[in-house]
């Protein structure tokens, strides 16, 4: 994008984990100040995340967000008060096959449904991290089957990043167009509704605000952010991003633990 194009940005959409917040899930003072500076410059700001809506509440308060947000990788669009504007669920047949395949691969299984987070083992790896991330407690259910008829997101969880990467390809190939399958973190494999992704959220926001998508800047770090990069006008990968995503980006900033978000706002968007 040209410098003139960068100066014409009307909206910034950022991923959250690995991008807007640090590895320990903190918003830094620099990130908060950067969002405030965007507002002072007349540039809108919102977020697109694999998190459930409840996991966005603390960001709304800290950043004084006023625009709709994309949860579950854009499959759910919510207002700042977390009321639903648009919601799509995973088709039940696809949800059941996904859960069966994740189980067969030896992954811990989480199901986000009915506005809550369900799992079998509350002490399994990464449950404490997820509690801190979304600031909500899971509900324990021995049988997750009934929830698969109304699932917004299914997550396979493993500390074995290589195994999870292999599972991503296998599950994605098996489900095909019936669901979206992407790792949102090295340890999370997300299954979300088909035909909807963060790129669709970029398009929705462009239509909602009456601006061309070319005036939207996007920031991200993982494979599920690639669709955003493809739709917006300016794409910024984090220094900690996957190499494949960096290759798709217009520019690369510092890592999330080095205030890469704030630096991108100052040096690229507001420069």
pLDDT in tens, 73-119: 999 999 999 999 999 999 999 999 999 999 999 999 999 999 999 99
Strand partners, 252: 237
Tens digits of residue pLDDT in 223-258: 899 999 999 999 999 999 989 999 999 999 999 999
Confidence at residue 185, expressed as pLDDT on a 0 to 100 scale = 86
Q: What is the pTM (predicted TM-score) of this model?
A: 0.86
Instruction: Provide mean pLDDT across the span 44-58.
Output: 95
Confidence at residue 6, expressed as pLDDT on a 0 to 100 scale = 53
| Domains present along the chain, CATH in parentheses | 3-87+196-269 (3.40.50.1000), 92-192 (3.30.1240.10)
Q: 217 to each of 64, 94, 260, how far by Cα in Å?
A: 19, 33, 15
Task: Check pLDDT > 70 for residue 131.
Answer: yes
Q: Is 174:211 a contact under the CB 8 Å cutoff?
A: no
The packing angle between helices 92-104 and 161-175, to 10°, is 150
Confidence at residue 1, expressed as pLDDT on a 0 to 100 scale = 40
Pull the structure tokens for residue 222. Answer: 């993982």
Q: 51 to each of 35, 48, 105, 117, how far by Cα in Å?
A: 20, 9, 23, 11
Task: Check pLDDT > 80 for residue 5.
Answer: no
Instruction: Provide mean pLDDT across the span 33-61.
Output: 96
Label residue 271 by pLDDT band (50, 70, 90).
confident
Confidence at residue 4, expressed as pLDDT on a 0 to 100 scale = 37
Q: Where are the beta strands (DSSP E) in the chain?
A: 11-14, 44-47, 69-71, 76-78, 84-87, 108-113, 116-119, 139-140, 151-157, 180-185, 188-192, 216-220, 234-237, 251-252
Strand partners, 155: 110, 190
Confidence at residue 2, expressed as pLDDT on a 0 to 100 scale = 40
Confidence at residue 7, expressed as pLDDT on a 0 to 100 scale = 62
Label residue 48 by pLDDT band (50, 70, 90).
very high
Task: Check pLDDT > 90 for residue 28.
Answer: yes
Tens digits of residue pLDDT in 133-165: 999 999 999 999 999 999 999 999 999 999 999
Task: Check pLDDT > 80 for residue 40.
Answer: yes
Q: Is 217:197 a contact under the CB 8 Å cutoff?
A: no
Tens digits of residue pLDDT in 159-218: 999 999 999 999 999 999 999 999 988 899 999 999 999 999 999 999 999 999 999 999
Exposed, middle or buried by CB within 10 Å (0-12, 13-18, 19+), for 104? Answer: exposed
């Amino acid at each position: 994008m040209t410098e003139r194009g960068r100066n014409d940005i009307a909206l910034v959409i950022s991923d959250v984990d690995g991008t807007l917040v640090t590895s320990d899930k903190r918003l830094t003072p620099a990130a908060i100040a950067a969002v405030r500076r965007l507002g002072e410059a007349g540039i809108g700001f919102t977020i697109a995340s694999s998190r459930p809506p409840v996991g966005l509440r603390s960001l709304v308060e800290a950043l004084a967000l006023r625009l709709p947000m994309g949860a579950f990788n854009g499959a759910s669009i919510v207002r700042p008060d977390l009321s639903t504007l648009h919601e799509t669920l995973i088709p039940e047949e696809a949800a059941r096959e996904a859960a069966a395949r994740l189980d067969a691969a030896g992954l811990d299984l989480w199901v986000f449904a009915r506005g809550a987070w369900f799992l079998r083992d509350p002490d399994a790896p990464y449950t404490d991290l997820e509690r801190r991330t979304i600031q909500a407690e899971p509900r324990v259910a021995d049988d997750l089957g009934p929830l698969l008829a109304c699932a917004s997101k299914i997550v396979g969880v493993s500390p074995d990043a290589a195994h999870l990467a292999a599972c991503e390809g296998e599950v994605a190939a098996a489900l095909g167009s019936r669901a979206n399958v992407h790792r949102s973190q090295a340890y999370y494999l997300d299954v979300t509704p088909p035909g909807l992704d963060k790129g669709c959220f970029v398009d929705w926001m462009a239509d909602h605000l009456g601006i061309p998508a070319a005036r939207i800047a996007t920031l991200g770090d993982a494979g599920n952010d690639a669709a955003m990069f493809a739709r917006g006008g300016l794409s910024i990968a984090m220094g900690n991003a996957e190499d494949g995503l960096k290759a798709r980006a217009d520019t690369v900033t510092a890592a999330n633990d080095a205030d890469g978000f704030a630096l991108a706002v100052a040096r690229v968007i507001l420069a």
